[in-house]
A and B are shown apart, each in its own frame.
Chain A
Amino acid sequence: MTSAMSPSERRLQKELMSLIKDPPPGVSVDAEQAEQNLLQWTIHMEGATGTLYEGESFQLQFKFSNKYPFDSPEVTFVGSNIPVHPHVYSNGHICLSILTDDWSPALSVQAVCLSIVSMLSSCREKQQPPDNAFYVKTCNKNPKKTKWWYHDDSV
C-alpha cells in the first residue's frame, strides 16, 4: 500500500497518524475526511483556556499540493466562527509568515496548528485587521496568492 503512494501522500499519512495519536492541546483532526482525501484536511481547534478565545471553537482547512512538504499548505479558517484577531481576516485568511515566505519542509501540520493557537492565545484585544474590509473585497480565494507583508522583522 505504501509503495503506491507519492512522497507527499506518504508524508501526509505519517503526519495524520501522529496527529491522531498525540494531537497538540485543543486540536483534533477530522480523521475520516482526511483519510478519504489526504490533500484536504479539516482541523478543529479550541481557544486555549485563559485566553480571549477560551470556550470558542474554530475550524481550519488545510489544502496540500502534490509538492508538499516543499510547498506550504494553504491554511484558512472556515465555518461559521472565524476568530476576530488582528491577523485573521474575516474571510478566514491568516497573516502568518510560516504559511508562505518562512515555510520550511521541516514544519508540519502540527507545528502550523501550534503556531496558530499561539497566535490566537497571545492576542490582547479582539479586533479585525485594519485593512480587513478592503482586503476581503479584493483578495484572491487562495491566501497564498496574496503578497503578505509581515511587519516587524526584528523578531
Chain B
Amino acid sequence: MGWKSFQKIKNKLQWKVGHVSFVQRVTAASKKNPSLEFWKLAPKTIYRTQNMSASTSEEVRETASSSSRGDGGDKPNTKEEEKKEDNLLECNICLDTAKDAVVSLCGHLFCWPCLHQWLETRPNRQVCPVCKAAISRDKVVPLYGRGSTKQEDPRDKVPPRPAGQRTEPEPGNNFSGFGFGDGGFHMSFGIGAFPFGFFTSTFNFGEPRPNVSPHGTPQYMEEQFLSKVFLWLAMLFIAWLLLA
C-alpha cells in the first residue's frame, strides 16, 4: 500500500498538468519533504471513491479494513462485510449496484446503460472510465447472476435512460438496396453524363411536373427565362461534347 499504489493510481489517472510534469513535481516534493504524509493518504481515498473492481479488490479489502479500524472498529463485523460486498458490486459510473452489469476486459464493472452512455459521449475516444484502457461494445462481457430469470445479453437492450436515447447504430447492417442505389442514381445524373432531355424527364419521376404558370405572370417570365438558360447550357454542353 502507500507510495507504490499511489504511483499506480497516478499512472491510471494520467494526470497532466501545466508546465512541469506532475510526476517530476510530486517526486521532487516528496523527496524534499518526507513529512508530506498527505501523499500516503491519497491512495486510500481515491480507492474508496472509485468503488473497486475485481482487479484491485485485494487492495480494496485492505483499504476498507484499515479505514474501518480508523473510523470506528466497534461496528459489528458482519455489517462491514456486507457493505464491502455492496461496494464491490457497484457500477463505477452511477455508484449504484450495477444493473444489467457488464465487465470490461480490464476488469471494471459498470451498468450497461451507464457505460453505453459514456461510449456515446466520446465515440471517437472510447476508453475505460477507470483505467483508460481501450474499450468498446465488443470488449465488455455481460454478467449473469443466478437470480436473473432471462439470460439475455444486457448489450442487446436499448438502454433505458435517458428517455430520449437513440439506439446504437449497427454499421453495415442497415443496408437497403433501394436506399443505397438511390444515392448513386442521383449522383450519376447530377454529374450530367447523359443528355439533358433524359435528365429532365427522369429526374422528376415519381412526382408530377408542376403546371405551367399562366401567361404574363412573373412566374411565367421566370420560367421562360430559366428554360432558355438551360436550353443554352445544354446546347453548349453538347457542342463541347462533340468538339472535345
Chain A residues engaging chain B, CB cutoff 8 angstroms: 7, 10-11, 14-15, 18, 22, 24-25, 48-51, 69-71, 86-87, 95-98, 102, 104-108, 110-111, 114-115, 117-119, 121-124, 129, 150-155
Contact = CB atoms under 8 A, between A and B. Distances in A.
B48 to A, nearest CB: 7
B93 A124 contact: no
A121 B39 CA distance: 10
Given A24-B41, A118-B26, A105 B93 contact: yes
Contacts of B26: 118, 122
A38 to B, nearest CB: 14
B19 interface: yes
B95 A24 contact: no
A106 B17 contact: no
Contact of A122 (B13, B29, B49): B29
A24 to B, nearest CB: 5
B46 interface: yes
Interface in B165-202: none
B148 interface: no
Interface in B95-149: 95-96, 108, 114, 117-118, 121, 127, 129-130, 132
Interface of B: 13-23, 25-26, 28-29, 33, 35-36, 38-39, 41-42, 45-46, 48-50, 67, 71, 92-96, 108, 114, 117-118, 121, 127, 129-130, 132, 161-162
B94 A106 contact: no
A123 B20 CA distance: 10
Contacts of A95: 17-18
Given A124-B29, A155-B21, A50 B46 contact: no
B123 to A, nearest CB: 13
20 contacts: A7-B162, A14-B95, A15-B95, A22-B45, A50-B36, A96-B17, A97-B15, A105-B92, A105-B118, A105-B129, A110-B46, A111-B13, A111-B49, A118-B15, A118-B26, A122-B29, A150-B16, A152-B16, A152-B21, A154-B21
Contact of B93 (A48, A106, A123): A106
Given A22-B71, A104-B130, A122-B29, A70 B95 contact: no
Q: Which 7 A-B pairs have CB atoms at the shortest separation, nearest pair first?
A: A106-B129, A122-B25, A87-B18, A104-B129, A97-B16, A105-B93, A106-B130
Contact of B22 (A71, A110, A155): A155
B50 to A, nearest CB: 6
A115 B15 contact: yes
Contacts of B19: 86-87, 151-152
A117 B39 CA distance: 10
B38 A117 contact: yes
Contacts of A97: 15-17
Contacts of B18: 86-87, 95, 129, 150-152
A122 B26 CA distance: 6
A82 B159 CA distance: 43
A86 B41 CA distance: 25
Given A115-B15, A117-B38, A151-B18, 12 more contacts: A7-B161, A18-B48, A25-B41, A102-B14, A102-B16, A110-B49, A111-B46, A114-B46, A121-B36, A124-B29, A152-B16, A155-B14
B49 A155 contact: no
Given A114-B46, A121-B29, A105 B17 contact: no
Given A22-B48, A152-B19, A11 B94 contact: yes
Nearest to B25: A122
Contacts of B21: 152, 154-155
